[in-house]
Amino acid sequence: MKETFKVKEVGLSNRRSFLKISGLAMAGTALLFTGCSDDDDTGTNNNNQMPGIRNGVFDFGGGDNGILTYAYALEQLEADFYTRVVNGNTFGSTFNTDEQAVLADLYHHEVIHREVLKQAINTAVNNNQQQVLPNLNFDYGALNFGNRSQVLEIAKKLEDTGVAAYNGAGKYLESAANLTLAGKIVSVESRHASVIRSLINPDDAFFAANDVVEPSTGKNIAREPSQVLNEIEDMGYIQTAFTANYLS
């Protein structure tokens, strides 16, 4: 599906403006990876496992490159989902003007995240395309993109999962540059999660509910890659087979 949606000039809420500023800040993050390399990879054998096809299926690999590839797969999913949302024939009739503006911002952000991560991986593997995760195929089954409640519920699930994924994976990154990138992306993803929850339940504390924030610590929920990938598999949206044998 072509990413051709253009944001209309509309009256924006403060929250929507904040989202736009966040996205513009992320657009410059690609510069972070100029000259980055895998030279400092001195970890375990798992850390040295590069992404690539094993036994006929693409495996994420281990170490920083594995985590970047894992994040890239998640961002492909989010970018594809929002691309379908904003380009749908019923987008204008399903969501009001302010909601359209918010969802358009999320769409642009996720596309930026996807492309920045792809660039980072390409740099790390010296543009060896056999070590870059291919474009994934997606199928959303019975999801009705003209149903506001269904779309927002899936958006909530994807954003919450994305935040938990970055929070759980950050500890495995050895490169300061990669950790900085992950931190920048998850800060934007957490804003996405918050605004989606606010669209579902306006004027409510649902944006910081106990299912996303640990009540005892005040921190966002963190999940291991294996947990997140099991959740993604259960959703059934990704149709392309892959493995993650060297991630925790």
Cα-Cα end-to-end distance for the chain: 33
DSSP letter for 213, please. B
For the chain, list the domains and their CATH numbers: 65-130+142-236 (1.20.1260.10)
The SS3 call for residue 135 is coil
pLDDT for the residue 24: 41
Decide if 122 contacts 132 (C-beta within 8 A). yes
pLDDT at 223: 86
pLDDT confidence of residue 27: 43
Tell me the two tokens of residue 213: 């924030």
Question: What is the DSSP secondary structure assignment for residue 32, as one 8-state letter?
Answer: G
The whole-angstrom separation of Cα 136 and Cα 131 is 14
Q: Rounded CA gap, 201 and 150, in Å? A: 14
DSSP state of 57: E
CA 144, CA 167: separation in Å to the nearest integer? 30
Per-10-residue mean pLDDT, the chain, length 248 = 40 44 42 35 65 97 97 98 97 97 97 97 97 98 97 96 94 95 93 91 64 61 90 96 93
* Sequence-separated (6 or more) residues with CB below 8 Å from residue 142: none
Strand, helix or coil for residue 59:
strand
Pull the structure tokens for residue 35: 């000259």
DSSP symbol at 212: T
Please report the beta strands in the chain, taking only residues with DSSP state E, as ranges in sequence order: 52-54, 57-59, 242-243
How many angstroms separate the CA atoms of 157 and 175, rounded? 29
